[in-house]
Structure 1
Amino acid sequence: MAGAGRGALAYEELKGFEGRAAATAGEGRDPVNAPMIRHWCEALGDTNPAYEGPDAMAPPTMLQAWTMAGLSGHAGRSGAYDDLLALLDGAGYTSVVATDCEQEYLRPLRPGDVITFDAVIEAVSPLKTTKLGTGHFVTTRMDVRADGRLAGTHRFRILKYAPRAPGSGPAAPAGAAGDRAAGEMRDLRPRPVVNRDNAGFWAGVKDHRLLIQRCRDCATLRFPWLPGCNACGGQEWDTVRASGEGTVFSYVVMHHPPFPAFDPPYAVGLIELAEGVRMVSNVIGVPYDKVRIGMPVRLTFLRADDDLELPVFRAVEDGEA
């Protein structure tokens, strides 16, 4: 182990927690209900009619809300998760930050549904070095059921880490525990988070295609990729290939903070594609101070490093075909 922790911690010991229950036969504190749906929608400003009326469904992203324990906790909570965190604490990885979550929706939740769930420790990463410090990512998977039927899956990932000393760079992992030396990591662009909802988009990028989701029920195009249609709630979709033509709808020029993988100042644009959806990407081909709203741009692909290629937009010169 890198010298961040107070005691030796074998990765095999951490791997032994994978597959162990984090919660068993947990029960939602309340059935799915209209007041919670209304409060959620009001907080987010979501006026979709699918969430109102006698046939209302709950917004899919509320999946975790129905399983939250509150201050009193859940009766079905397993000791394995607490034991894992205590083990990491004892090794000096005393800080924690939530990093990301992934959700899969299998059927709508409606008022009156009774929620139960089971959770498992799905993965513990090898030692990783981040800008915060050195530690381990811990992923739990929760299977959420409504009236006994699987309704969705929620994956939640945290980083348990030892903070780096102020003013110091991240320490390199010991031996094979890290993916790259710290110096090399600082020179790379951050990796995009690829999950089951957006994997098709990144597969398209790999083939130099910019793919837009299209709802099979109402034909609405959407970007970024989402598990369901935000116009009609439809769950089925296909894709259309973007022409690559667009205009700068808005933009910012990044000056600060400096980041070793980038060379500020540079322009980041909100690009309105010819198909009508918008996406955020770099604007290249002109000096940053020459970017303007309404400027025509065209898709190209930037090789950031050996493992990463990104869609960016090059300014189209006047008279350029």
Structure 2
Amino acid sequence: MVREGGRELTEEELKPFEGRPAATAAEGKDPVNEPMIRHWCEAMGDTNPAYAGPDAIAPPTMLQAWTMGGLSGFEGRSPAHDELFALLDGAGYTSVVATDCEQEYLRPLRPGDAITYDSLIESVSPLKTTKLGSGHFVTTRMDVRVGGELVGTHRFRILKYTPAARESAGAAKAGGAVKKLRPRPVVNRDNAGFWEGVGDHRLLIQRCRTCETLRFPWLPGCNACGGQEWDTVEASGAGTVFSYVVMHHPPFPAFDPPYAVALVELAEGVRIVSNVVGVPYDKVRIGMPVRLEFLAVDEELELPVFRAVEAGEV
């Protein structure tokens, strides 16, 4: 059967991939090490004392980091993964998006641990239709070991799909032209208060009621002491560009590349990812002072952005 953009694959074509190894006895490029732990914790704003000092452990969520091959790839990869992707690409499912991951931790990792891992293609779904388009969910499972001992399992799921050939939901028409809308933020019970604050033009930062540590993005518990009770403080709006990237590719509807995406360090000490406005993308610099403002990107959505502060501005 031929669908718009590609051919519908049969169960007989897809099921043989399930259970096939994607990597066997592969080795992490580096042992678990303190510099990488420090970089991770700085990027995440995680100050848990368990991740520093002579008895340090690695943050559990770094499990996959120790197995990454980098731009040069890694040894031990089997052909099954490439064969499956070639089949999906050939059938027209050429786009890919990561959908979710699951991790199980069996013991902490410590500096000096040498990582080995095996991964396999755990499942390939029948054809599914999503808002993005039609395609197949592919789940891989990675078993991570130290000295032959299983220390954790990482499941990673992607969607290989053909983009839907239709207007995005809520596309607005003006003067005969179709204007694509920005993707909507996912609002849940853990971050609803943040978005309510944005609606009132207030940037709210969580504060632990036990140790008074500020945290951002919003989390259900304190990453310093584990406390579950919290209140909020309102950001002053002052900040500096801590780091940034310039997005050139791929293009997305409602976005006009190139544009700068910055990690802004607020005066309160926490960091937020946002856009820098009021200056060309190629003029954004680390250390640049910025100030919060709220941008109405369409009739229903406002977002916090940061405007570059000119020399001498207050």
Find the counterpart in structure 1 of residue 84 from structure 2: 84
Aligned residue runs from structure 1 range 228-267, under 5 A: 230=223
Q: Give the drift of 1:146.
A: 1.5
Find the counterpart in structure 2 of residue 125 from structure 1: 125
Find the counterpart in structure 2 of residue 183 from structure 1: none
Q: Give the drift of 1:71.
A: 1.3
- Letter of the 1:75 counterpart: E
Shift in alpha-carbon separation, 1:111–1:96, aligned structure 2, 3 A = same
Structure 1 distance, partners of 2:99, 2:230, is 33
Corresponding position: 1:146 with 2:146: yes
TM-score (norm 2): 0.54
Structure 2 distance, partners of 1:7, 1:159, is 16
Find the counterpart in structure 1 of residue 195 from structure 2: none
Instruction: Kindly provide the CA deviation profile for residues 253-299 of structure 1, in whole angstroms up to 9, marking residues without a partner as x.
Output: xxxxxxxxxxxxxxxxxxxxxxxxxxxxxxxxxxxxxxxxxxxxxxx
Report if aligned partners of 1:93, 1:161 keep a CA contact under 8 Å in 2: yes
Find the counterpart in structure 2 of residue 164 from structure 1: 164
- Letter of the 2:128 counterpart: K
- Letter of the 1:17 counterpart: F
Find the counterpart in structure 1 of residue 108 from structure 2: 108
Shift in alpha-carbon separation, 1:168–1:62, aligned structure 2, 3 A = closer
Q: Give the drift of 1:225.
A: 7.8
TM-score (norm 1): 0.53
Corresponding position: 1:45 with 2:42: no
- Letter of the 1:42 counterpart: E
Shift in alpha-carbon separation, 1:124–1:43, aligned structure 2, 3 A = same
Q: Give the drift of 1:9.
A: 1.8
Q: Give the drift of 1:6.
A: 3.1
Find the counterpart in structure 2 of residue 211 from structure 1: none
Q: Give the drift of 1:75.
A: 1.0
Instruction: Kindly provide the CA deviation profile for residues 126-168 of structure 1, in whole angstroms up to 9, marking residues without a partner as x.
Output: 1111000000000000000122211100000000000011327
Corresponding position: 1:16 with 2:16: yes
Find the counterpart in structure 2 of residue 216 from structure 1: none
Specify the SS of the correspondent of 1:16: helix
Percentage identity across paired residues of the two chains: 74
Instruction: Kindly provide the CA deviation profile for residues 39-61 of structure 1, in whole angstroms up to 9, marking residues without a partner as x.
Output: 00011111111001110000000
Specify the SS of the correspondent of 2:22: strand
Structure 1 distance, partners of 2:121, 2:132, is 23
Aligned residue runs from structure 1 range 299-318, under 5 A: none
Structure 2 distance, partners of 1:131, 1:31, is 41
Unaligned runs of 5+ in 1: 170-189, 193-222, 234-245, 251-321
Specify the SS of the correspondent of 1:19: coil
Report if aligned partners of 1:4, 1:134 keep a CA contact under 8 Å in 2: no
Corresponding position: 1:74 with 2:74: yes
Shift in alpha-carbon separation, 1:110–1:247, aligned structure 2, 3 A = closer
Shift in alpha-carbon separation, 1:100–1:2, aligned structure 2, 3 A = farther
- Letter of the 2:28 counterpart: G
Shift in alpha-carbon separation, 1:112–1:168, aligned structure 2, 3 A = closer
Structure 1 distance, partners of 2:45, 2:168, is 42
Q: Give the drift of 1:73.
A: 1.0
Find the counterpart in structure 2 of residue 32 from structure 1: 32
Unaligned runs of 5+ in 2: 170-185, 189-217, 234-314
Structure 2 distance, partners of 1:2, 1:129, is 15
Find the counterpart in structure 2 of residue 57 from structure 1: 57
Structure 2 distance, partners of 1:2, 1:63, is 40
Structure 1 distance, partners of 2:220, 2:115, is 27
Q: Give the drift of 1:224.
A: 7.2
Find the counterpart in structure 1 of residue 251 from structure 2: none
Structure 1 distance, partners of 2:99, 2:89, is 18
Find the counterpart in structure 2 of residue 279 from structure 1: none
State the number of aligned residues: 186
Structure 2 distance, partners of 1:2, 1:130, is 18
Report if aligned partners of 1:127, 1:134 keep a CA contact under 8 Å in 2: yes
Shift in alpha-carbon separation, 1:123–1:49, aligned structure 2, 3 A = same
Report if aligned partners of 1:50, 1:232 keep a CA contact under 8 Å in 2: no
Shift in alpha-carbon separation, 1:247–1:224, aligned structure 2, 3 A = closer
Report if aligned partners of 1:67, 1:115 keep a CA contact under 8 Å in 2: yes
Tell me the C-alpha RMSD between the 2 structures. 2.9
- Letter of the 1:141 counterpart: R
